[in-house]
A and B are shown apart, each in its own frame.
Chain A
């Protein structure tokens, strides 16, 4: 069920939370809306779900104009950030709610409701807990109830607001995998909001990166990571260290060393370069095109060796493969760095 968004705008007072957004979401796609808080991603999601209404622009769901239609007419499932489970209803009744209030004629029989709900609870692996109340469940279990509840009405579109925001790292990882499996199994068009770039890149088919109510870039996780369209996107997707550079003769020059540029080169002159921690290698001292830096801090983290380096007074972060690094390193030592690649933006 495709979603087509044209020039969608929402203002709160004088402030445009969503400012003329165009976005096409394909049928069956798993789309992430990624951005910092205040970027308008949740407002956009709420407008798709019919909880907020646009001041300007149009929203089509499956080709039908849904800009001003009521939430129930849109047939979307919404999973709220804090789950919003009905606190006075059991897990079973929470999931059954959408079926009980359904305006479909004829009414769904109790037996059918029971079968549907229990099937969904099987799916989210909560069948044994169907009699529990929300306050008797863990965060991960509540999230799964919320998902089952949203799926019960067989929505055309599933919308999730920061679905894993309130969970600890381990549960989050499990639920991510599990959401992807469910999405694959049901094929329902899914849009989720997150501020966690790793989550967006890991889970989504495509990612839309929002900033100040506008879309900065839309693309597959690989596209947006490899080719950030703007300094904001690059920074937000873990751009690494930001260094001043000069663009000249078709390359970026950082502290006298020429560094290969990944993205479209901005016009000659001063510019800003982003170097990711993984794109820094140690080089032989005195080798051409290298930079000299001092080690401030060495931190072995699992398979990685994290270095904080001092490069002309700027702190540069580098991540090396711990087992491939044979040279002994000590804090205070001066080393040569090779910057493998950089993203460079004007200004």
Chain B
């Protein structure tokens, strides 16, 4: 947040051409690694015109992938909001044994390769997995089905909300909650009327990031999906399949939807940082 950073009064001693060179290098890097690929996605998607583009999107398998991605996000994101708020609340506002262990566990999905995360679910719930026989007996299919996709996505995205809220809630302290309690509020009233409104922008920020990842996740989902067309393919998986079949226009058309999601997320994130930077301060420093 440059708006909140103290203005540096140190005179920059580098000559103008050095500054220009550094800036050019920065912009060049940005252009080459971010803008160029982004442009490539849209150019490839529109190579055969708008007609082919939309055709690729309304094709039944593509529609199924879009629906599935939305379904997974609609389940995983709210669950992680509940979990993230609860975990952040417990960690930031209370003292209890095992607190640092919980903090470490929350970070686990960030440090484990997504493929491993997916594999764990296969090992647990797959046909030959630990719970496989039990699940088969009861006619429940998790791996290579929607429940597996949801579980893997939830695992991958669960740090986003908690990680965003913990520093924010720690910075806010417990004074306001204590004030609410002495004024006669119950635990729930305190949470709903005091804690929640104080973290709303940080929460929205966390939800945005969580959602972007939930829709874009590839590795873990790929392992548990089974790649059944029209049934267990999410958008990123569908893109891969189309690409491997040399169906570039369709692949990039679906990919462009993910790119648009990324752009929307970025704009919303910037808007939040600009409008409510103070309430995200802890995050702004970290990212």
Q: Give the interface of A toward B (CB within 8 A).
A: 49-51, 71-72, 76-78, 80, 82, 84-88, 97-98, 101-103, 149-150, 152-153
Partner of B183, one of A87, A88, A153: A153
| Separation of A7 and B183 alpha carbons in the complex (Å) | 27
A152 to chain B: closest residue by CB? B183
Which A residues are in CB contact (< 8 Å) with B185?
A: 72, 97, 101
Given contacts A86-B176, A88-B198, A101-B189, contact A50 B182 (CB under 8 A): yes
Which B residues are in CB contact (< 8 Å) with A71?
A: 181-182, 184
Please determine whether A51 and B176 come into contact, CB atoms closer than 8 angstroms.
no
**B178-220: which residues lie under 8 A (CB-CB) from chain A?**
178-186, 189, 193-194, 197-198
Partner of B182, one of A77, A86, A87: A77
| Separation of A72 and B179 alpha carbons in the complex (Å) | 11
Please determine whether A149 and B183 come into contact, CB atoms closer than 8 angstroms.
yes
Partner of A101, one of B183, B197, B198: B183
Please determine whether A51 and B184 come into contact, CB atoms closer than 8 angstroms.
no
| Separation of A51 and B180 alpha carbons in the complex (Å) | 11
Please determine whether B175 and A101 come into contact, CB atoms closer than 8 angstroms.
no
| Separation of A51 and B198 alpha carbons in the complex (Å) | 21
| Separation of A320 and B186 alpha carbons in the complex (Å) | 58
Please determine whether B184 and A87 come into contact, CB atoms closer than 8 angstroms.
no
Given contacts A82-B175, A86-B176, A87-B198, contact A49 B182 (CB under 8 A): yes
| Separation of A84 and B185 alpha carbons in the complex (Å) | 15
Which A residues are in CB contact (< 8 Å) with B175?
A: 80, 82, 84
| Separation of A287 and B229 alpha carbons in the complex (Å) | 111
Please determine whether B180 and A97 come into contact, CB atoms closer than 8 angstroms.
yes
Max chain A C-beta neighbours (<10 A), residue from B181, B186, B198: B181
| Separation of A76 and B183 alpha carbons in the complex (Å) | 8
Please determine whether B181 and A51 come into contact, CB atoms closer than 8 angstroms.
yes
Which A residues are in CB contact (< 8 Å) with B193?
A: 86, 97, 101
Please determine whether A84 and B198 come into contact, CB atoms closer than 8 angstroms.
no
Given contacts A84-B176, A97-B193, A101-B193, contact A78 B198 (CB under 8 A): no
Please determine whether A102 and B184 come into contact, CB atoms closer than 8 angstroms.
yes
A–B pairs, 8, beta carbons within 8 Å: A71-B184, A72-B183, A84-B179, A101-B186, A101-B189, A149-B183, A150-B182, A150-B183
Given contacts A51-B178, A86-B176, A101-B189, contact A72 B184 (CB under 8 A): yes
B172 to chain A: closest residue by CB? A87
Q: A71-B181, A101-B193, A103-B184 are known; give 15 further A-B pairs, CB within 8 A.
A: A49-B182, A51-B178, A72-B181, A72-B182, A72-B185, A77-B182, A82-B175, A84-B179, A85-B176, A86-B193, A87-B198, A97-B185, A101-B183, A101-B184, A101-B186
| Separation of A103 and B183 alpha carbons in the complex (Å) | 11
CB of B204, distance to nearest CB on chain A (Å)? 14
Please determine whether A86 and B194 come into contact, CB atoms closer than 8 angstroms.
yes
